[in-house]
Amino acid sequence: MRPRQNLQLARIFGIRVGVSASWFVVLFIMIYWLATEYFPAILGDGTNSTTYLVAVGAALGYFASLVLHELGHALMARRLGIPVAGIDLWFLGGMSYMRREPETASEELKIAAAGPAVTLALCAIFVGAGALLTSGGRYAELAVTSGTATTTPLVALVGWLGLINVLLLVFNIVPAFPLDGGRIARAVIWLRTGDRNRATRASGRSGQAFALLVGLLGVWDFANGAVFGALTLVLAYFLYQAASQAVVAGALGSRIKDMTVSDIMDREPVTVPAQTTLLEAQEQFFLRYRWPWFAVVDPARHFLGVVRRQRVESEIAAGRPALPVVDVLEEDMPVRIGEEEPLESLLGSEGLGRLGAMVAVDSEGVLQGVVTLAQVRRALRPAT
């Protein structure tokens, strides 16, 4: 899946971590709630600068825990040979974007379980640290606002991080798609039945039911004036949408499971020879067809990469019109797919959504065709 266009926060182990606009909204609301309601009850000294500093640290610590959780998924995927496009923090959660879906139930299970495993480790660290700081006796009391217990800012912060990671772990292991527990359940069903689509439908339906329960909780909270009532309703909406998409994808996958890329691709696509100059490419291809990119091939039709219109125009403007297109290829563009790959794999590919088409090659890397998003839609129309 392709990561959204957002603000990059950092790169960790070479993986881009970004945030959407909703992250800033939730960060502000969380800091305000922690500073005015949660920590004053624990610190016992009202709202002051120390309370706000602890609230900021607690909110950032929560999102740092989410990043570590998603890094668990991402690093496991990369270890299994699945490229990772990035991590996106949004609303109350996060998402790791992989450039392809897991191909086996074992891969799915390992990737899905890696995130909760990291969160479990964080729970052990913070609970253990809290127990040491409070000599073990009062940690559980200080981690929850009781209105009677007071403590130091450090213990309050550690208590919050332990509590929120426990809640995050419990929430994530619920067997409902798209939560990690739902993905684990899908992997188990897939492993036992050998049918990924059946597993996807089952976990998607459980996700729909869970989203409705979260929605009812949100209505209750909203009616009683809880700060996070409206946010819970929005979360339920997103959960239901994702679960519903899984149900549709599972049903659709069952209908197209015997179709391959070669069944729908254009076997005579327009391609650019490798030694074509940039000026020739502009005049004979880009100005004529008005496409944003073309596949470039050598004399034996081996697929070499992609040449993009923006790059051609910038090189010509820089005074290099005689350069061959092979010198300005975008070789890392995710547009290559095997012609015998199932159509299902094509639907989950990053390049189809990002670039609108994929280049189909045989086992020798020879270009056999191009499949566009429009062709995929026409192929799916009878099934849907």
pLDDT at 136 over 70: no
pLDDT of amino acid 145: 46
Name residue, tokens 């929005």: 234
One domain, residues 282 and 133 = no
Share of the chain above pLDDT 90, in %: 47
Grouping H, G, I as helix, E, B as strand and the rest as coil, residue 259 is coil
**Average pLDDT in the 321-333 region?**
88
Domain boundary among 143, 173, 203: 173
One domain, residues 40 and 160 = yes
DSSP line for 279-292: HHHIIIIIHHH--S
pLDDT of amino acid 1: 43
Q: What is the pLDDT of residues 250-259, one digit of tens each?
A: 887 777 777 8
Domain boundary among 173, 196, 230: 173
One domain, residues 295 and 166 = no
User: How many domains in the chain?
Assistant: 2
| Contact (CB, 8 A) for 359 and 266 | no
Q: Is residue 301 in a domain?
A: yes
Q: Is residue 235 in a domain?
A: no
pLDDT at 296 over 90: yes
- Exposed/middle/buried for residue 244 (C-beta within 10 Å: 0-12, 13-18, 19+): middle
Segment among 140-149, 259-268, 319-328 with least mean pLDDT: 140-149
| Contact (CB, 8 A) for 215 and 240 | yes
Partners of residue 302 on adjacent β-strands: 366
Question: What distance in Å separates the CA atoms of residue 344 and residue 376, rounded to the nearest whole number?
Answer: 10
One domain, residues 168 and 284 = no
Q: What is the pLDDT of residues 157-184, one digit of tens each?
A: 988 999 999 999 999 999 999 899 999 9
Question: What distance in Å separates the CA atoms of residue 10 and residue 18, rounded to the nearest whole number?
Answer: 7
Two tokens at 306?
């992609």
One domain, residues 157 and 296 = no
One domain, residues 55 and 168 = yes
Q: Is residue 252 in a domain?
A: no
Phi, psi of 10 (to 5 degrees): -165, 170
Question: What distance in Å separates the CA atoms of residue 274 and residue 49, rounded to the nearest whole number?
Answer: 64
pTM of the full structure: 0.72
One domain, residues 36 and 157 = yes
Two tokens at 347?
């639907």
pLDDT at 39 over 90: no
Q: Is residue 303 in a domain?
A: yes
Q: Is residue 95 in a domain?
A: yes
One domain, residues 149 and 295 = no
Nearest to 59 by CA among 19, 81, 92, 94: 92
Kind and range of the H or E run holding 132:
helix 105-133
Q: Is residue 246 in a domain?
A: no
One domain, residues 64 and 162 = yes
pLDDT of amino acid 251: 82
pLDDT of amino acid 29: 86
**Average pLDDT in the 303-323 region?**
93
The domain of 161 spans: 7-173
pLDDT at 43 over 50: yes
Partners of residue 266 on adjacent β-strands: 370
Share of the chain above pLDDT 70, in %: 90
| Contact (CB, 8 A) for 118 and 11 | no
pLDDT of amino acid 3: 45
pLDDT of amino acid 295: 93
pLDDT of amino acid 8: 85
pLDDT at 155 over 60: yes
pLDDT at 49 over 60: yes
Q: What is the pLDDT of residues 198-210, one digit of tens each?
A: 999 999 999 999 9
- The mean pLDDT of the chain is 86
One domain, residues 30 and 132 = yes
Nearest to 219 by CA among 204, 205, 236, 202: 236
Per-residue confidence at 148, pLDDT binned at 50, 70, 90? very low
Q: Is residue 286 in a domain?
A: yes
**Average pLDDT in the 350-368 region?**
87
Domain boundary among 120, 147, 173: 173
Beta strands in the chain (DSSP E): 7-12, 15-19, 84-90, 93-98, 271-273, 293-297, 303-308, 336-338, 357-361, 367-372
Q: What is the pLDDT of residues 59-82, one digit of tens each?
A: 999 999 999 999 999 999 999 999
Per-residue confidence at 2, pLDDT binned at 50, 70, 90? very low
**Average pLDDT in the 42-59 region?**
83
Question: Residues 6 or more apart from 55 whose CB is under 8 A from it?
Answer: 31, 32, 34, 35, 38, 39
pLDDT of amino acid 116: 95
Q: Is residue 214 in a domain?
A: no
Q: What is the CATH number of the domain that holds 312?
A: 3.10.580.10
DSSP 340: T
Question: What distance in Å separates the CA atoms of residue 361 and residue 367, rounded to the nearest whole number?
Answer: 4
